[in-house]
Amino acid sequence: MSVPLRKEKTEKPLKPPKTRLGRWLAQTAEIPYGGVIFLVFLVVFLFVMVWSVLHERESHVRVPDVGRFEEALPSIANLTGSPILGGNSVQVLQNGDGFFPPLFEDIARARQNINFETYVWWKGEICKQVAEALAGKARQGVEVRITLDATGSHRGDDDLFDMMKEAGVKISLYHPFRLGDLALLNNRTHRKIAIFDGKVAYVFGHGIAQEWTGNGQDAKHWRDTGVRLEGPIVNSVQAVFAQNWVDQTSEVLVGEKFFPRLAEKGSVRAHMTASSPRGGVSEMELLDKMAIATAQKELIIQNPYFIPDEELVDLIDNAVKRGVRVRLMIPGQITDSSIVRHAGHKQFQTLLEKGVEIYEFEPTLSHQKIMIIDDLWSFVGSTNFDDRSLDTNSEASVGLIDREVTGELKAAFEADLKRCKRLDARTWSQRSLWHKFEDSASYLLNEQL
């Protein structure tokens, strides 16, 4: 299209632009009507297309009532992408003191390969220890693969990453900044998993940072929970690792050293749920909604980032009406994301009035993502209760069907309760206006939190 330019009519512009560029831009161009219509059409068309591709597809899920929670479990597992596998053994790992020592032992024991995926890799002594342990194995000829989220690990020490790479560790950065992949930038991997020789797997909430060491004793040592798994379910955890690995590196993991035939190791039935951003309803959102809708006696949620949308609030409300005791534990003053904390508060008044018990954990950040239902089923992993985890990120958590393991997690919850402050509806409604304002303002951003 030719664009004939001409000088602006000199009818005393109020402020003549000073720079040359300014003057040039202040000119007008004469173009045909058709051209303008075409341009406007193009802008509108592209806008609709982009919006249609990017907008969060609304997913209103209707879950019918069931008589028993057990009856819903096969549906929950199958609908979220993984069948229930029997014959597993599970070890619950609490805080840094319970998590890192067995992790180091398994690193030391690994003979063929170590696969590790994490979101957070910050700074501190523990990062050095993990890096050295992994590099040491790589030097011995063990294949070590690490998927690190590019955002979660950008604070990490480059020297450590270089040291590992030199030792032969394969590090894959998940969704690094690339012009061609701008659209992926918002999708992070929040998964925290580790698999050793295809036979032992860890699913956890811990990041690799000094904050996750210790025993949840103070503001600098956080509270978190993971599990160590053996048995057929380890194949499923490996498959979850393999997903992001093949996407980022093109390397396909083949052979018995990755996917061995696994003998039964215990009596726990388990199902692995992993979500990654795609068109439909995310597996994690479906799982949360189905689990809450089918609980019959008791629902316990421990989560650091709890921002329920209206549908979840309704489901929780229905659960309370069915006679389910609903207890929710979230961080108190100590949180690493006060905007998330405030956004979560938006719905607290409603929840409290409906009869949900809400507890704020006081001593430190409680970072574990746990759900416990009817003393039978528990869910442990990386998944927060917010839109980012439910719709955007790539997550991994494991469902465990076993009274003993669930009992152990519930005992830990009850112990945490002693270090909590319970919120009550009356004093909550009297929180300061400023606090209420912060809550509403933060909630506006909830799709991205």
Partner 1 sequence: MIEISLWLLISMIATILLLGTMLWNNLREREFHVRVPDIDCFEQALPSIAGMTKAIILDGNRAEIVQNGEFFTALLASIAEAKETIHFETYVWWTGDICAELAEAFAKRAREGVEVRVMVDAMGGMKMKRQLRELMEKAGVKLVRYHPLRVRDIGQLNKRSHRKIAVFDGTTAYICGHGVSSKWTGNGEDENHWRDTGVRLHGPVVNAVQSVFSQHWIEETGEVLVGEKYFPAIELQGEVKMHVLAGAPLGGVSDLELMFKMSIAAAQKELLIQNPYFIADEETTALLKRAVTRGVDVKIMVPGKVTDSPIVNHAGHRHFSEMLNAGVKIFCFERTLIHQKILIIDGVWSHVGSTNLDSRSFDINEEAGVGIIDEGIAAELKAAFEDDLKACEEMKAESWDRKYDLWHRAIDRACYLLSGQL
What sign has the CA pseudo-torsion 360, 362, 368, 373?
A: negative
The residue among 107 and 287 lying less far from partner 1, judged by its C-beta, is 287
The residue among 131 and 286 lying less far from partner 1, judged by its C-beta, is 286
The residue among 259 and 428 lying less far from partner 1, judged by its C-beta, is 259
Count of alpha carbons within 13 angstroms of residue 310, beta-carbon side? 3
**In the complex, minimum distance from the CB of residue 373 to partner 1, in angstroms, rounded to a whole number:** 14
**In the complex, minimum distance from the CB of residue 350 to partner 1, in angstroms, rounded to a whole number:** 23
For residue 43 the two structure tokens come to: 């802008």
Identify the burial level of 258 via C-beta atoms within 10 angstroms of its C-beta, where 0-12 means exposed, 13-18 middle and 19 or more buried. buried
**In the complex, minimum distance from the CB of residue 54 to partner 1, in angstroms, rounded to a whole number:** 7
Q: Where are the alpha helices (DSSP H) in 309-368?
A: 310-322, 338-345, 348-354
**In the complex, minimum distance from the CB of residue 184 to partner 1, in angstroms, rounded to a whole number:** 7
Distances (CA, A) of 312 to 73, 216, 354: 19, 29, 13
Which residues, at least 6 apart from 339, have a Cβ–Cβ distance to it below 8 Å?
442, 445, 449
The residue among 33 and 434 lying less far from partner 1, judged by its C-beta, is 33
The residue among 186 and 210 lying less far from partner 1, judged by its C-beta, is 186
Residue 414 DSSP SS3: helix
Distances (CA, A) of 146 to 99, 143, 177: 18, 10, 18
Q: How far apart are CA 7 and CA 24, in angstroms?
A: 9
The residue among 30 and 162 lying less far from partner 1, judged by its C-beta, is 30
**In the complex, minimum distance from the CB of residue 92 to partner 1, in angstroms, rounded to a whole number:** 24
The residue among 66 and 420 lying less far from partner 1, judged by its C-beta, is 66
Which residues, at least 6 apart from 266, have a Cβ–Cβ distance to it below 8 Å?
87, 88, 89, 90, 230, 231
**In the complex, minimum distance from the CB of residue 254 to partner 1, in angstroms, rounded to a whole number:** 4
Count of alpha carbons within 13 angstroms of residue 16, beta-carbon side? 8
For residue 96 the two structure tokens come to: 């840094």
**In the complex, minimum distance from the CB of residue 228 to partner 1, in angstroms, rounded to a whole number:** 20
**In the complex, minimum distance from the CB of residue 289 to partner 1, in angstroms, rounded to a whole number:** 8
The residue among 48 and 219 lying less far from partner 1, judged by its C-beta, is 48
